[in-house]
Amino acid sequence: MTIMTTVQAINDALGVKMAEDKSVYLLGEDIGWMGGDFGVTRGLYDEFGGERVRDTPLSEAAIIGAAVGSAMVGMRPVAEIMFADFLTECYDQLVNNAAKMHYMFDGQFRAPIVVRAACGGGFGGGPHHSQQAEGWFMNVPGMVMVAPTNPYDTKGMLIASIEDDNPILFLEHKALYGKKMEVPEGKYTVPLRKAKVAREGKDVTIVTAMKNVYDALAAAEKAAAEDISVEVIDLRTIRPWDRETVLNSIRKTGRAIVVTESPKTGGLAADLSAVISEEAFGDLKAPVARVCGLDTPIPFSLPLEKVILPDENKVLAAIKAQMKG
């Protein structure tokens, strides 16, 4: 075991798979000698060379188009889209090619690609560098979205994603890049499509992912001081999300709060709240609550970002409101 940041855990996962499997290669803007905008691929160009760590033009459509084509002939590309906001530039390649490949060719071809993208706000990055993108892909059959919370899960889930035969959007919240914890050296995997109980409780369930897990845990700690027991579910995979773990928790507590950074309209929070209401209505003691980003573009202003985005105080207020229900 060694202490790693999330950035180091991603780098290590990529190195492990590239050393093990020559079909794995990386492509993206400035990922070569520069090591990527966030330093994630630093050192991999020197270790594996330019054939397997490929700098690309400034064209997200070209990056994902090349990834899909190479995957069809046996490669396992890991593409970096520098900011998740720019997934709009390759949306057609992801939605109409990668996600439909297995279905349209009856399994004769597939697109086992991993698309890494930095997401999330809180840094004054403004409207084009701060968004959460999961809502754009929630209703795309064939897509898998992975959203880890800590370095251990990030490394294990990235290795599992590279080995998976589906197209996977691997979301990395920028606020979590510097998180540190003990991570095993060498290869291990963390299963996809399986949520984790990050904190056990009996009064209310919070369902969330990525940075918001830490907001939920902080709010749960404050609630405990007021004798409110909060269970926190870390989804880890957000499409498809783990219904069994979520619904079992809500049937136990009888109260549900969904926390996501993306806007409330549509997307993950809407899907979670709808399914909870449909399948666990008889167990609920109060309506499902949602704590989400406001329906507005993300501003450059840090004070305005704090108004727009969820935080532990907003989650705590939702917990107290649920307990009155």
Residues 141 and 249 occupy one common structural domain:
no
**CATH number of domain containing 31:** 3.40.50.970
Specify if 126 maps to a domain.
yes
Residues 151 and 103 occupy one common structural domain:
yes
Phi-psi category of residue 202: left, alpha or beta, with phi > 0 → left and psi -120 to 50 → alpha: alpha
Residues 231 and 126 occupy one common structural domain:
no
Domain around 274: 196-324
Residues 25 and 132 occupy one common structural domain:
yes
Residues 168 and 289 occupy one common structural domain:
no
Residues 212 and 114 occupy one common structural domain:
no
Specify if 97 maps to a domain.
yes
Specify if 40 maps to a domain.
yes
- The pLDDT value recorded for residue 307 is 96
Q: Tell me which of 183, 205, 238 is where a domain ends.
A: 183
- The pLDDT value recorded for residue 147 is 98
The total number of structural domains in the chain stands at 2
Specify if 189 maps to a domain.
no
Residues 145 and 256 occupy one common structural domain:
no
Confidence check: pLDDT of 217 > 80: yes
Residues that are catalytic: 129
State the pTM of this model.
Answer: 0.97
Q: Integer distance in angstroms from the first to the last C-alpha of the chain? A: 45
Specify if 224 maps to a domain.
yes
Confidence check: pLDDT of 105 > 90: yes
Q: How confident is the model at residue 178 (pLDDT cuts 50, 70, 90)?
A: very high
Residues 60 and 26 occupy one common structural domain:
yes
- The pLDDT value recorded for residue 1 is 87
Summarize pLDDT for 62-92 with one digit per residue, the tens: 999 999 999 999 999 999 999 999 999 999 9
Residues 156 and 283 occupy one common structural domain:
no
Region 292-321 average pLDDT: 96
Residue of 114, 57, 117 whose CA lies nearest to 82: 117
Summarize pLDDT for 15-61 with one digit per residue, the tens: 999 999 999 999 999 999 999 999 999 999 999 999 999 999 999 99
Specify if 208 maps to a domain.
yes
Confidence check: pLDDT of 201 > 90: yes
DSSP string covering 143-171: -EEE---SHHHHHHHHHHHHHSSS-EEEE
Confidence check: pLDDT of 325 > 90: no
Specify if 162 maps to a domain.
yes
d(CA 216, CA 135) in angstroms, rounded, equals 20
Residues 201 and 175 occupy one common structural domain:
no
Q: Tell me which of 154, 183, 212 is where a domain ends.
A: 183
Contact 272, 258 (CB under 8 A): yes
Length in residues, the chain: 325
Beta strands in 184-269 (DSSP E): 196-199, 204-208, 230-234, 237-239, 256-263
Q: 118 by DSSP, 3-state: which?
A: strand
Region 194-220 average pLDDT: 98
Specify if 188 maps to a domain.
no
Q: Tell me which of 183, 213, 235 is where a domain ends.
A: 183
Residues 12 and 129 occupy one common structural domain:
yes
d(CA 63, CA 83) in angstroms, rounded, equals 13
**CATH number of domain containing 242:** 3.40.50.920
Residues 205 and 288 occupy one common structural domain:
yes
